């Protein structure tokens, strides 16, 4: 019996690790990618949207690509050229986009996909949660059509942009607050798991050796993404966003727990922190599945297996 396909919306700020997450999603026949929506974060909205259209072209995805909001809900935009470069996806050459930017906004496209889908839809959100927050505020009636929001964001023990806050949540804490208080089914891949989800240079050399155009591009994205991480002392490239995809299809590879998590909006030094209640002291029921760990070696093996699925693809 054919496995039931999972309708998916990919929302992100590509971004090298978003791009690799989308390679993983595109490689798995269980995913039916219904739409791509972009959000300002790693780079400006125009740059990440152009990148999203190029990635969709590389992966031969037949779906609309819609741009989200230029800026966070209540904050000034922060971008990350130090990690992702001026284009937001520096490094390898990519094909020019074959599809135009959708005439719909990201929220309008998300709402259209949710409204028209017979099954509930998974939203994989790997950038600031601006579009998701706007969707939940403007279309509360569509929350029931969301099977799960699988996010990369936050960190229950530390941040990576400030001591307390991880980049995606810090860029737009208000949208994250709306999301974590919405009651929508939520899975959080924070730094607790994504900083463990490292791939080491000798491992992505094996991905480069796979040799097809997509595997080679993934290796070259990692070449660039590792430049700044190495300067910071990391021994491997932290594959943040692919965790939000792989934890959906290989949950047995991950350590997933139920926690109540809240978002700090106003701390002088802690704004954007994802604050857990590990013991139930808040009296709140868990509002998310927090992914806390993984089998790193298996994770890297699966990534390589995903890249092999593009064998036989013609050069671009
Ligand atoms: O903190 C890591 C997250 O911020 C990743 O999603 C990366 O792409 C950036 O968006
Ligand atoms: Ca991202």
Is residue 257 assigned to a domain?
A: yes
Give the mutation target among 41, 77, 221 for probing the ligand 1 site: most ligand atoms within 8 A of CB. 41
Is residue 227 assigned to a domain?
A: yes
Is residue 123 assigned to a domain?
A: yes
Cα(240) to ligand 1 centroid in Å equals 6
Is residue 316 assigned to a domain?
A: no
Q: Which atom of ligand 1 has the smallest separation from the CA of 84?
A: 8
Q: Which atom of ligand 1 has the smallest separation from the CA of 194?
A: 2
Is residue 315 assigned to a domain?
A: no
Q: What is the CATH number of the domain that holds 95?
A: 3.90.245.10
Is residue 12 assigned to a domain?
A: yes
CA distance 186 to 224: 31
Task: Check residues 272 and 1 and name the one with the higher pLDDT.
Answer: 272
| Number of domains into which the chain is organized | 1
- How large is the average pLDDT for residues 185-206? 98
Q: Which helix (H) or strand (E) holds 38?
A: strand 31-38
SS in 3 state form for 209-256? HHCCHHHHHHHHHHHHHHHHHHHCCCCCEECCCHHHHHHHHCHHHEEE
Residue 12's Cβ-count burial label (10 Å; 0-12, 13-18, 19+) is: buried
Task: List the beta bridge partners of residue 263.
Answer: 274
Cα(33) to ligand 2 centroid in Å equals 18
Which residue has the CA at smallest separation from atom 10 of ligand 1? 127
pLDDT in tens, 8-57: 999 999 999 999 999 999 999 999 999 999 999 999 999 999 999 999 99
Is residue 174 assigned to a domain?
A: yes
CA distance 56 to 234: 30
| The predicted structure's pLDDT at residue 90 | 98
- Residue 132: pLDDT above 70? yes
Confidence of residue 117 (pLDDT cuts 50, 70, 90): very high
Is residue 313 assigned to a domain?
A: no
- What percent of the chain has pLDDT above 90? 98
- Residue 1: pLDDT above 50? no
Q: Mean pLDDT for the chain? A: 97
C-beta neighbour count of 140 within 10 angstroms = 12
- How large is the average pLDDT for residues 64-72? 96
- Residues spanned by the domain of 125: 6-308
| The predicted structure's pLDDT at residue 79 | 98
pLDDT in tens, 284-295: 999 999 999 999
Contact in structure between 48 and 83 (CB atoms under 8 Å) = no
Confidence of residue 4 (pLDDT cuts 50, 70, 90): confident
Neighbour-count burial for 64-86, b at 16+ CB within 10 Å, e otherwise = bbbbbbeebbebebbbbeebbbe
Q: Which two tokens stand for residue 190?
A: 């924070």
Contact in structure between 168 and 160 (CB atoms under 8 Å) = no
């Amino acid at each position: 019996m054919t496995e039931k396909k999972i309708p998916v919306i990919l929302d992100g700020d590509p971004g090298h690790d978003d791009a690799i997450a989308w390679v993983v999603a595109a490689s798995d026949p269980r995913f039916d990618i219904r739409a791509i929506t972009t959000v300002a974060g790693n780079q400006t909205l125009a740059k990440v949207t152009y990148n999203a259209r190029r990635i969709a072209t590389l992966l031969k995805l037949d779906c609309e690509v819609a741009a989200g909001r230029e800026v966070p809900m209540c904050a000034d935009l922060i971008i990350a050229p130090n990690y992702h470069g001026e284009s937001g996806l520096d490094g390898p050459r990519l094909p020019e986009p074959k599809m135009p930017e959708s005439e719909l906004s990201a929220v309008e496209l998300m709402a259209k996909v949710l409204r028209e889908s017979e099954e509930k839809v998974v939203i994989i959100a790997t950038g600031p949660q601006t579009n998701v927050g706007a969707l939940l505020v403007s279309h509360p009636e569509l929350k029931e059509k969301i099977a799960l929001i699988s996010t990369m964001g936050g960190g229950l023990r530390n941040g990576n942009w400030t001591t307390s806050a991880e980049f995606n949540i810090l860029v737009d804490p208000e949208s994250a607050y709306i999301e974590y208080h919405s009651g929508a089914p939520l899975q959080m891949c924070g730094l607790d798991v994504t900083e463990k989800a490292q791939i080491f240079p000798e491992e992505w050399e094996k991905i480069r050796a796979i040799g097809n155009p997509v595997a080679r591009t993934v290796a070259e994205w990692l070449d660039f993404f590792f430049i700044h991480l190495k300067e910071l002392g990391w021994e491997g490239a932290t594959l943040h966003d692919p965790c939000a995809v792989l934890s959906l299809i290989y949950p047995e590879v991950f350590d997933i727990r139920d926690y109540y998590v809240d978002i700090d909006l106003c701390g002088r030094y802690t704004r954007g922190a994802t604050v857990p209640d590990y013991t139930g002291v808040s009296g709140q029921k868990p509002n998310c599945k927090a992914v806390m760990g993984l089998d790193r070696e298996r994770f890297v093996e699966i990534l390589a297996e995903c890249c092999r699925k593009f064998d036989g693809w013609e050069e671009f």
